[in-house]
Amino acid sequence: MGLIQLYNADWRGVVSTRVCPLPDCTSAIVRREINGEYSLTAALPAGAGFLNEVAIGRAVKATVNEAGAEQYFIIKRRQRSLTGGMNVYAEHQSYYYNGVMLGGNTANPGGQVRVVFLGFRTYAVPSITDISTWTYSRSTSLRADFPERPGPKSITELLKSFLIANAGGELIHDGFNVEYVDQMGSDNGARYAYGANLTMMEAEDVIDNYASGIYPFWGRAGDASRPLTTISDKIYNFSGNYPIQNIIPVDFTDKFDTQPSEADLLAACAEYETINAPAGFPLSIRAARARIAGDVPVDLGDTVTLTNTRWGMDKKTRIVALSFDALRDRVQNVEFGTVNPGFAGAVKNMK
């Protein structure tokens, strides 16, 4: 059984001293998604020891995967019941970046992802150079189209709406350490097999949070220096067949210093499609297993073999979200998929 620990933390989420253990927790679930959620929810019963020590802003230390890795989560919400129990919601340390801004002096003339990524840390306000490290491990150097002098935006928003949306890749958060990689996880031969260790499996066809095309534009209506510029057809449709049309607006104002021609906008659209167009609509699958002798540990981003003879399924797929029971040290639930989960967050930021 795992043990949840409570720590003091400063206003930035930097942990200092241990306060106490929380042995009476009845549940503690860590939820992680690729380029997305990283949180912990816990429950304590009425009369639990140290209940009054659980305060907003303090940190909870918990195990997040089968390998035993531990992370700190900052308590953001407490909910008390009439009978005296408490539910706690905490977010990973990296959520501090939601309130860290990036302003001017972030020129990126080469348009290289490496420069952009490291610049987030260099020019952060307030400074994060003393609490974080940023590591670039990507093999590619695609354009990120990051504006040279953006208006103030949170680092979290910029990572998703500019970097991930334009250049792809995935972010690994380990404490305040941020690593930008092509793809996290590995393929160690792990299996989820019906009749062996598979204990739950659900599947559904999902086409939420995708785009079948974009409405590209540059500038603003009424802005004489940067007049609103669109393409003749207004809409740029991605190639392929889509069951439901979904068009999102995409602002290319920061991509061009001067008013672009229609050919320039169309080229930008083609580049955007190459990176962001969904590659089909696979099943969204959720599953759980009971680990048996010989099972390989799994973690977020890993590729596993999913076998369900009733469904005629025997395929390799990737874990894009994972819920871990930190008290019982076991994976509670995994979600499989192939579509980049970061794309949905990027779309929301662009609207």
What gap in Å lies between CA 295 and CA 289, rounded to an integer? 10
Q: Mean pLDDT over residues 133-160, rounded? A: 76
pLDDT at 177: 95
Percent helix / strand / coil, the chain, rounded to 5: 20, 40, 45
Q: Mean pLDDT over residues 259-267, rounded? A: 95
Q: Mean pLDDT over residues 104-129, rounded? A: 75
pLDDT tens digits for range 50-100: 888 999 999 999 999 988 899 999 999 999 988 889 999 999 999 999 999
DSSP 101-164: EE-S----TT-BHHHHHHHHHHTEES--TTT-EEEE--S---B----SSPPPEEHHHHIIIIII
pLDDT at 327: 93
Q: Which residue has the higher pLDDT, 312 or 233?
A: 233
Of the pLDDT bands very low, low, confident and very high (cuts 50, 70, 90), residue 266 is very high
Q: Which residue has the higher pLDDT, 128 or 204?
A: 128
Neighbours of 327 (CB within 10 A): 18
What gap in Å lies between CA 191 and CA 28, rounded to an integer? 25
Q: Which residue has the higher pLDDT, 291 or 166?
A: 291
How are beta strands 303-308 and 191-193 bridged, if at all? Answer: parallel
| Residue 348 pLDDT greater than 50, yes or no | no
Q: Mean pLDDT over residues 97-118, rounded? A: 72
| Residue 27 pLDDT greater than 80, yes or no | yes
CA-wise closest residue to 231 among 266, 207, 203, 201: 266
Sign of CA dihedral 189, 194, 199, 202: positive
For residues 209 and 347, the answer to whether their CB atoms sit within 8 Å is: yes
Least confident range of 160-164, 267-271, 318-322: 160-164
pLDDT at 181: 92
pLDDT tens digits for range 274-323: 877 776 555 678 888 888 888 888 999 999 998 988 888 888 888 989 99
Of the pLDDT bands very low, low, confident and very high (cuts 50, 70, 90), residue 339 is very low
pLDDT at 336: 84
Give the chain's mean pLDDT: 85
Look at phi and psi of residue 13 and say left if phi exceeds 0, alpha if psi is from -120 to 50, else beta.
left
| Residue 349 pLDDT greater than 80, yes or no | no
DSSP 183-243: --------EEETTTTEEEEEEEE---S--SEEEEEBSBTT-SSSB-B--TTS-EEPSS--S
| DSSP structure class, residue 274 | H
CA-wise closest residue to 316 among 287, 300, 337, 295: 337
Of the pLDDT bands very low, low, confident and very high (cuts 50, 70, 90), residue 110 is low
| Residue 9 pLDDT greater than 70, yes or no | yes
Of the pLDDT bands very low, low, confident and very high (cuts 50, 70, 90), residue 175 is very high
pLDDT at 126: 92
Q: Mean pLDDT over residues 217-240, rounded? A: 93
| Residue 347 pLDDT greater than 80, yes or no | no
pLDDT at 56: 96
DSSP 47-73: T-TTGGG--TT-EEEEE-STT--EEEE
Q: pTM for this structure?
A: 0.77
Phi, psi at 284, each rounded to 5°: -90, 115
Percentage with pLDDT > 90 across the chain: 46
CB within 8 Å of 74: residues ≥ 6 apart: 9, 13, 57, 58, 59, 60, 90, 91, 92, 93, 95, 96
